[in-house]
Structure 1
């Protein structure tokens, strides 16, 4: 790479941090190890070079390289890595959300009717928030995870509703709590005609978007009251490091058997899916969980950040 290309890479990184992550020029200067004046000039260079339109069109070379290596190692059909050098957690999460929205939009723009499977998680919700409004009433958004709380209300895990609002498409809710009160209660929920109809529709999804959760004290499932501290301890003792749609995965990518399985109402996960199953997850603290999903071949698409990507490639 010549000096001009390196300068453009640095300008693209600065522009991303400024326009997407919302960082100040002072923060950009500190992250890139340059003066504030140089940071200003880099942002100006990005504008003058035509790198900025609605989004940043210049691919940052390092991230492109990481994407290619991840795709080769884990057999991914889609991989996008966003810059994260020097970013705080909020900026990093927004960068992943913006990139995730761009990937979602690639599918949503299709005028042929699509069935879009949607899981849960804060990363998914943040990405959907970044989506522009589409007029695609022919699309269907299908929930893959029960979003009914114990008191009958819908929870923050009801992410597919937000996508349906953005696409103006139909919305199919999985009519069940994430974990039923008992195995017998799960049987009642899952044998209901509406549940079976939605579950069948979910199995026909043309593209699926999911999040990847960690298993630890104060992880989202624990913090939001779906599993207890004792259950977290038992799962950790069984080497569970990741959670997808309420299914628990160990560090080698294998399903971890748990008493929670007898109460789980989510749709089944499939290894080596034939259609796109794209996870949105970032942050260096999540690399063990993401690696588990990759090793198990539970996903074939990933949107993440460069620090996480480096950790996934380090072992």
Structure 2
């Protein structure tokens, strides 16, 4: 707060008596410059506390007091607001990667996502988690335990069985997230991708799988990565990666990226393909019913995929880096 010696008082300010103006200035200076609390001001000036509150509001309205918000270095609130407005997001967080330190992109995004979750998880959530996202794995490792618990259930929304080493990382992701949030971990005991639509149908009819699938209807928060058309190293090593033949089919349908192996085009529309019928995971319809859909992604190779995910509404909360945010707003 700053005080100004000669405010430009427009009507009704010009009609205020000089003594009233002096009282306004005195109260404003005591409160904003000297840090005197309202009850003490009321006692010192022998006026009521409600009157002190009214005088402070009047001082702001008349221009005697101006509010100035100084944005700290590294906080990009204006860009976040632009992203929210442009893409109709519930929220956005833009993290800045130090110049010359671009290899720390994943660490920076993970730290920003962990801080966001720490601030916004308050209890009672049923949370869905994608198993094959390096950005989510890094996020979960950066999170601090919450006490008391802030989640009821932590559900895997994409099949997690694959190569033993990669599967261990996916299991670690869900287990660790359940530990820090206090939720009950619910594992998806299937691969994320199977050989045929018939096999996918048979797996989802299994009682243990059907039980997990039923929990997706009550999710209140979904945490996902956003993938480009080329599979990530984690997905490639998992045994769930798409083949070159699958990639060619997706290219022919103009796919640019995916969320939970659901591939979409540049306009965010689901790409109809034989590949999509073999995915054992949350459906696009169930995904869109989740109120908060948080995506953690950044980097030049994902600009097109992230934009399409926002346009298509696949995510409505975005954690990204400053360069990617600039590309999304360009």
TM-score, normalisation: structure 2: 0.71
* CA contact 2:225–2:295 (8 Å) conserved in 1: yes
Alignment of 1:257 with 2:272, yes or no, is yes
What is the CA-CA distance between 1:306 and the residue it aligns to?
A: 0.5
Alignment of 1:113 with 2:127, yes or no, is no
* CA contact 2:222–2:292 (8 Å) conserved in 1: yes
User: Which structure is larger by alpha-carbon Rg, 1 or 2?
Assistant: 2
What is the CA-CA distance between 1:58 and the residue it aligns to?
A: 6.2
What is the CA-CA distance between 1:172 and the residue it aligns to?
A: 0.4
1:196 to 179, 190, 210: 210
1:305 counterpart residue number: 321
Distance 1:87 1:300 in 2: 30
2:83 to 70, 74, 98: 70
What RMSD in Å do the two structures reach over aligned CA positions? 2.5
Alignment of 1:132 with 2:144, yes or no, is yes
Q: Cα 1:166–1:87, aligned 2, differ >3 Å: closer, same or farther?
A: farther
SS at match of 2:167: coil
Distance 1:79 1:263 in 2: 32
Distance 1:262 1:213 in 2: 18
Q: Which moved more, 1:133-142 or 1:286-295?
A: 133-142
SS at match of 1:132: coil
Alignment of 1:91 with 2:107, yes or no, is no
Cα displacement string for residues 164-209 of structure 1 (whole angstroms, at most 9, x for unaligned residues): 1222321001221101232221112101122222112122111111
TM-score, normalisation: structure 1: 0.74
What is the CA-CA distance between 1:150 and the residue it aligns to?
A: 6.6
SS at match of 1:164: helix
Cα displacement string for residues 120-141 of structure 1 (whole angstroms, at most 9, x for unaligned residues): 3000010110001223456311
* CA contact 1:96–1:303 (8 Å) conserved in 2: yes
Say how many residue pairs are matched: 256
* CA contact 2:128–2:223 (8 Å) conserved in 1: yes
Distance 1:59 1:147 in 2: 41
